[in-house]
């Protein structure tokens, strides 16, 4: 049994507090940038099949889980925050083929959760305290994915964030501050580790969104603060949904992986 260290308890407490905040709606409780979420969810959809039994690891309040439910045979949302799972069960309609379970990715196994055709993590593993914990989580996720099943990995990119910050500074903006509870992934070592378990099917980035939403938008409205729900962010998301460009600026590493035997 994994005994949570203090950093994980701190992150868990943070998410429990957000889950209990009535001022945060379902779309924003795990991420305030609603158009980034729309873009991520839209990018996942083409890789889901109606026959899939899916698991959404780190599902938070279940917002994306409920969007994916009509596209698959069944989906299970798992999160270590009891508050988030309570909210997932309480907020909005829950499809008959969607279930929610409290669970820690560092304890995930076939005996705790089952075996699936496809696993999803959308900004889940960045909440773990270090690379060693992230590797353990990746191994656990691999254990619940069938041979030739898929893992859709949507996590933070260390190189993309650094590139975006360099570009922001070059045009006179401040670098974005680090997020205290996030540890972004280094692409090369992450892919090298993932390849123990998976073949890479596709890699996407959202650099065009980050260019517009995190550089052009702030420059246009300065000295005012840019707003996540602004129309320019919607335009950025819709354009980035159709076009791969500027992925050296992408804060997100998006990988579609096929489980090896």
* 79 has a pLDDT exceeding 90: yes
In which region does residue 92 sit, left (phi positive, over 0), alpha (psi from -120 to 50) or beta (all else)? left
Domain 6-157+180-206+250-259: assigned CATH number: 3.40.50.150
Average pLDDT over residues 228-239: 97
Read off the pLDDT of residues 117-169 as tens digits, 9 standing for 90 and up. 999 999 999 999 999 999 999 999 999 999 999 999 999 999 999 999 999 99
**Helix/strand/coil (H/E/C) assignment for every residue in the chain:** CCCCCHHHHHHHHHHHHHHCCCCCCCCCCCCCCHHHHHHHHHHHHHHCCCCCEEEEECCCCCHHHHHHHHHCCEEEEEECCHHHHHHHHHCCCCCCCEEEEECCHHHCCHHHHCCEEEEEEECCHHHCCCHHHHHHHHHHHHHCEEEEEEEEEEEEEHHHHHHHHHHHHHCCCCCCCCCCCCCCECHHHHHHHHCCCEEEEEEECCHHHHHHHHHHHHHHHCCCCCCCCCHHHHHHHHHHHHCCCCHHHCCEEEEEEEECC
**Helix/strand/coil (H/E/C) assignment for every residue in 71-124:** HCCEEEEEECCHHHHHHHHHCCCCCCCEEEEECCHHHCCHHHHCCEEEEEEECC
Report residue 5's pLDDT band, with 50, 70 and 90 as the boundaries. low
The reported pLDDT for the residue numbered 27 is 81
The reported pLDDT for the residue numbered 45 is 98
Read off the pLDDT of residues 25-52 as tens digits, 9 standing for 90 and up. 888 888 899 999 999 999 999 999 999 9
Report residue 2's pLDDT band, with 50, 70 and 90 as the boundaries. very low
Nearest to 133, CA basis, from 84, 193, 46, 88: 193
Average pLDDT over residues 223-230: 96
Nearest to 19, CA basis, from 72, 85, 68: 85
* 225 has a pLDDT exceeding 50: yes
* 188 has a pLDDT exceeding 90: yes
Whole-number percent of the chain with pLDDT over 70 = 98
d(CA 144, CA 65): 18
């Amino acid at each position: 049994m994994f005994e949570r260290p203090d950093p994980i308890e701190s992150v868990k407490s943070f998410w429990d507090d957000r889950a209990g905040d009535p001022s945060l709606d379902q779309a924003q409780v795990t991420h305030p940038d609603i158009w980034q979420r729309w873009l991520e969810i839209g990018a996942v959809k083409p890789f889901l099949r109606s026959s899939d039994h899916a698991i959404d690891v780190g599902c938070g309040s279940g917002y994306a889980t409920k969007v994916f439910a009509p596209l698959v045979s069944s989906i299970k949302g798992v999160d270590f925050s009891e508050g988030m799972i309570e909210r997932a069960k309480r907020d909005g309609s829950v499809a008959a083929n969607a279930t929610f379970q409290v669970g820690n990715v560092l304890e995930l196994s076939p005996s705790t959760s089952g075996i699936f055709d496809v696993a999803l993590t959308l900004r889940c593993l960045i909440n773990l305290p270090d690379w060693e914990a992230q590797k353990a989580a990746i191994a656990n996720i691999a254990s619940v994915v069938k041979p030739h099943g898929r893992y859709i990995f949507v996590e933070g990119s260390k190189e993309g964030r650094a590139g975006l910050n360099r570009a922001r500074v070059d045009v006179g903006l401040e670098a974005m501050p680090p997020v205290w509870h996030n540890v972004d992934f280094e692409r090369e070592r992450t892919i090298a580790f993932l390849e123990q378990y998976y073949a890479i099917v596709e890699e996407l980035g959202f650099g065009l969104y980050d260019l517009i939403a995190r550089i052009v938008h702030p420059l246009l409205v300065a000295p005012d603060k840019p707003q996540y729900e602004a129309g320019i962010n919607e335009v950025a998301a819709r354009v980035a949904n159709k076009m791969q460009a500027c992925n050296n600026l992408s804060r997100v590493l998006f990988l579609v992986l096929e489980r090896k035997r």
